[in-house]
């Protein structure tokens, strides 16, 4: 039960934008990590998110997908025009037990 409550902290993750984007909760001890592919529309909105490597925890994976779907990304450009693209995102959470 305690671990389940701690996983709810995922909703407060901070997102760092980069080609290899990392989402991290600043806790330590128990960890989870998932690799996701984010498909980005011309306007930077997220069209879809696919799991490329699961964390093994369905609730963690689902929460990470929900967070990414709400995020806006800088779209790639081709010849100065916005282009649809995808990015690999590494989602990491460390949970500190007190």
For position 75, which CATH number holds?
3.30.1150
**pTM given for the model:** 0.66
Non-local CB neighbours of 59 within 8 Å, separated by 6+ positions: 4, 7
* Average pLDDT score, the chain: 75
Percentage of the residues of the chain whose pLDDT score is greater than 70? 65
HSE, CB side, 13 Å, CA atoms: give it for residue 50: 7
At residue 16, does pLDDT exceed 80?
no
Task: Write out the H or E segment, with its range, that includes residue 25.
Answer: strand 21-25
Q: Quick one: pLDDT at residue 94?
A: 76
Segments forming the whole domain that contains residue 71: 2-95
Mean pLDDT of 74-96: 88
Three-class secondary structure assignment of 29-78: CEEEEEEEEEEECCCCCEEEEEEEECCCCHHHHHHHHHHHHCCCCCCEEE
Mean pLDDT of 42-59: 95
Mean pLDDT of 18-44: 70
Q: What's the structural domain count of the chain?
A: 1
Q: Quick one: pLDDT at residue 35?
A: 96
């Amino acid at each position: 039960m305690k671990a389940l409550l701690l996983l709810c902290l995922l909703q407060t993750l901070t997102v760092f934008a980069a080609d290899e984007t990392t989402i991290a909760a600043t806790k330590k001890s128990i960890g989870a990590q998932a690799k996701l592919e984010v498909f980005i529309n011309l306007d930077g909105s997220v069209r879809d998110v696919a799991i490329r490597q699961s964390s093994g925890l369905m609730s963690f994976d689902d929460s990470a997908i929900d967070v990414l779907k709400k995020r806006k990304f800088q779209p790639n450009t081709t010849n100065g025009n916005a282009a649809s693209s995808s990015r690999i995102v590494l989602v990491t959470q460390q949970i500190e037990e007190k």
